Structure 1
Amino acid sequence: MGRKGQGHTPKHVFKANNQQNLTKEEKELLDNIDKLLRISTIPQQPNILKAIENNKEISSITDRIKVLEVHKDSSVSVGNRTTAATIDCFTKWVTENGAEFNGCSIVEFKGYELGLKVNTDIPQSSLVVAVPRKLMISMETANKSELGHLMEKDQILKNMHNVTLAIFLLLEKFKEDSFWKPYINILPKTYTTVLYFTTEELEELRGSPTLEIALRQIKSIARQYAYFHKLFNSSEDAVSRLMRNKFTFKEYCWAVSTVMTRQNTIPSLDGGNMINALIPLWDMCNHTNGTISTDYNPQLDRSECLALKDFKPGEQFFIFYGARTNADLFIHNGFVYEDNVHDGYWIRLGISRSDPLEEKRKELLKRLSISPTSEFFIRKGSEPIDGELLAFLRIFNMNQEQLQHWLDSDRSGDLQYAACALDTSVEKKSWNFLLARLKLLLGIYRTTLEEDIELLKESQLTGNKRLAVRMRATEKKILRDTAEYVEQFVKQ
């Protein structure tokens, strides 16, 4: 009985001894981690100015943390991904493990870094890239690894699959003998996601609804980092022992950005559900307009990518990432695609509680399955206004008699159609209201679209500032074009 407890140190004693042996810098780091967790846990401020101030606090703390952790980063940083040796090593690794990429090679493209260069004629719908499951980093891969034990106990790792992929990616990056080392070495060293923006660069988005999303994203990642830092430093499993010596804020931002910009979904091994995965080689393909041309082949247990159009030698091989707005691409992929046919702008409208006709408006909206407070999507293109927004505008601007007329009618669904037989006064008020709102939204920005266009011609802009200016410019173009569209109806 007496021998059983020999050599065992209670956890609270272990922690106390650890605290006593810390250097001044290590104590300062832990203090900053506590401060970061506290500040990043505060609910998102509805006032954008307060949210920016909160971001400045977070940025100040994480800047200091990066200085205190710099000695951990140096030995594990990713090297130059564009060297011939790195590309050759990766190419050899994927092909030896069953991947195919037909008629293409990996090269550097200006403005894109690495991509796939077409070497021969590639007809539309022909197979270009095929990647077997064994090369992918997925939730199943993580669960089968030493991380699986921690995943069982930790609710965040169990439920937030993108976070789990980021932690597993770091775990493999920190190993000397990782199977995925050739893949990790060819990944970007840094990204253009908002996690790499300074507060000054973020403030270029003042007036843009994308700024609020960006601030929320940064705050969430800061909170996750602080949480995992504390978890790894208070646990004694194999993963925590490795991670506590190498896990840093800089490394976590890199891993999260890698997952955000590259993750896809594949069927689970049993085919019962879809799971998140990183797909080496496939993620070398850059984005263009088109249709989804990637699917999973269950018979061959691999992801397959077909050509979405005919490609000629010398061209870059592109794929379509999906119907995403530029705000989505900016936040999750770190770029803006100016020719994006799926772009749009979300406008928030609601029925005021002080409106004496609130209940009647809400009742009529309910019949059309429209929430009394909603975000409506204004599409890029010649037909920016959809039926839901049109119906909301009309109901919002009706008087009591008009509302009652449509409540008594069995054709309230007609309110979603442009050709609806409606009182001229309601139609006029609806379009005028929308035009005023569009002009108000344009006026919130600190610059005009014309000023942005001139600014983008300047060579001294940092990459992130240029990206932010391009982001807000695409929003302004949609608002301007929609205002011009609405003015046609106002003048009628």
Structure 2
Amino acid sequence: MVMLLFLALVGDAACLRLGPAPSMLANGRMTKKPPAKLGGRGFGAAPPTSGKLLDEPRYTALYEWLRSSPLTNLKKVGIAEFEGGLRGVMALQDIMAGEEIVAIPATLAIDLGADGVDPLPAARRFLGEMHGDTDGEYAAYWAVLPPPDAADLCTPDFFSEKELQMLQWPPLVVETRKRSAQLRKALGERAPNSGTPNDVMAVAGGNMRELRWAVWTILSRVLTVADPTDLGGHKLLIPLIDMFNHRGGSKHYLTGRTDGMLRVVAGATVKAGEQIFIKYGTDQTSNVEFVAHYGFVDPKAETADRTLLRMQPAMVPALKHSTLAQDEAELDALKAADGPYQEQLALGLRMALKRAALKEGLLEA
């Protein structure tokens, strides 16, 4: 009997070269809502080539800590670096369909409460847990999280005003600005502003940076898990499970059962050396959400993008500030010059939306 239902998902948002909480399904499986790079989990569509197993001390410490429970199952997987510098989970042995890929005891997860869609309360609780971990119980886990100044933090929350305008999607710009205002309100006098004295500006800026990072951590990594008596769910950070990258067609799934274990189960055969992917979100998760929470564009989200455009046709004129051909040329130039990833990501999103709009007949070629 399935006891734990995954409602929303993790993400280890690492800036990926253009590649949310899962929703509850009747069978108790979870879909994701939403690298060796400095950062966190792997996102996006990395090539399925063999990876290089990462043997840094922080990963060894993570394995040892997780295996402190005899219930943990990491026998056939390891954290590896894949093409493009993306960190993810690799199969060390062949894994058959229906086989358990990973199992983590729920006692090793970090429970951030049962709050709703607003990530701020869970973010503040997360910071409290981390700073209050005086005995270092979760030290091995904190060590593999991307730090607040990581280059991998590339979602719109970390965009400049120029980069926000490049998105050409007003709802995402509004959402980002609103979240920034909420963070400033939450920090109150500890937030930086035009009147902050120079001698305390560094501290005020650090407060803002840390809280923004904590919110990003919640949006990109947290799984919401519910049982029949609490369908609102609790937000959990689940070590190692939050390192699986996204692939739209993945058949692997996450599940929880009455024994208090949190698992990834193989929906298809995986060969040794291959990266193991799970699916973030549902078939209706659009690229706007992928960009907002994880910092990548998924070409397989076109159907969801078309649905979004049908629901918000008033936003389509914002996409007319440039043509698809102009965007493609600009992106090619940015890549050739190794330009800022944030700008590449903004171009990738508006190109994906324009392709969907063309299919819907909402834009002219």
Q: TM-score, normalised by structure 2?
A: 0.69
Displacement of 1:298 = 3.0
Q: For structure 1, which segment, 257-266 or 220-229, has the greater mean C-alpha deviation from structure 2 after superposition? A: 220-229
The answer as to whether partners of 2:78 and 2:92 remain within 8 angstroms in 1 is: yes
| SS of alignment partner, residue 276 of structure 2 | strand
CA deviations 1:417-471 (Å, max 9, x no partner) are xxxxxxxxxxxxxxxxxxxx97x56533376344245335423311111111111
More helix by share: 1
- CA change 1:316–1:341 in 2 (3 A) is farther
Q: Secondary structure at the match of 2:301?
A: coil
Is 1:455 the counterpart of 2:333? The answer is: yes
Pair 103,192 (structure 1): closer, same or farther in 2 beyond 3 Å? same
- Give the counterpart of 1:184 among 142, 159, 177: 142
Alignment partner, residue 90 of structure 2: 117
Distance 1:253 1:302 in 2: 31
Amino acid at match of 1:471: L
Distance 1:227 1:271, change over 3 A: closer
Q: Distance in 2 between matches of 1:336 and 1:80?
A: 18
For the Cα contact (< 8 Å) 2:90–2:273, is it kept in 1? Answer: yes
Answer yes or no: is 1:465 the counterpart of 2:343: yes
- Alignment match, 1:16: none
Does residue 90 in structure 1 map to residue 62 in structure 2? yes
Aligned equivalents of 2:88, 2:228: Cα separation in 1: 29
Of the candidates 72, 76, 79, which is equivalent to residue 106 of structure 1? 79
Q: If you compute each CA radius of gyration, which structure gives the higher value, 1 or 2? A: 1
TM-score of the pair, normalised by structure 1:
0.53
Instruction: Report the alpha carbon displacement of residue 327 of structure 1 after superposing the two structures with TM.
Output: 0.8
Distance in 2 between residues matched to 1:330 and 1:294, nearest whole Å: 22
C-alpha distance in 1, partners of 2:72/2:184?
Answer: 34
2:263 aligned with 1:304: yes
Distance in 2 (alpha carbons) for counterparts of 1:198 and 1:231: 22
Equivalent residue of 1:186, what SS? coil
Say if 1:470 and 1:112 are closer, same or farther in 2 by CA, change over 3 A.
farther
Matched, 1:478 2:356: yes
Residues paired across the two proteins, number:
294
Which of 129, 133, 139 is equivalent to 1:172?
129
What's the counterpart of residue 288 of structure 1?
247
For residue 297 of structure 1, give the secondary structure of its aligned residue in structure 2: strand
List alignment gaps of at least 5 residues for structure 1: 1-78, 144-157, 233-243, 349-373, 378-436, 488-492
2:222 to 248, 252, 263: 263
Whole-angstrom CA distance in 2 between matches of 1:129 and 1:342: 31
Displacement of 1:83 after TM fit? 6.9
Greater RCO, CA 8 A, separation 6+: 2
Aligned to 1:444: 321
Report the Cα offset of residue 485 of structure 1: 11
Partner of 2:112 in structure 1? 139
Q: Is contact 1:115-1:284 (8 Å) kept? A: yes
For 1:249 and 1:219, the matched residues in 2 are separated by 14
Letter in 1 for 2:140: P
Sort the Cα spacing of 1:281 and 1:485 in 2 relative to 1 into closer, same or farther, 3 A: same
Q: Secondary structure at the match of 1:100?
A: coil
- For residues 354-365 of structure 1, the aligned pairs below 5 Å read none
Once the two structures are TM-superposed, the CA of residue 265 in structure 1 deviates from its matched residue by 1.3
The equivalent of 2:286 in structure 1 is 325
User: Which digits, 9 at most, give the CA deviation of each residue in 1:350-395, with x for residues without a partner?
Assistant: xxxxxxxxxxxxxxxxxxxxxxxx6379xxxxxxxxxxxxxxxxxx
Supply the distance in 2 between the matched residues of 1:376 and 1:279 (Cα, whole angstroms): 38
Q: CA deviation at 1:340?
A: 3.2
Query: Are 1:456 and 1:469, in contact at CA under 8 Å, matched by a contact in 2?
Result: no
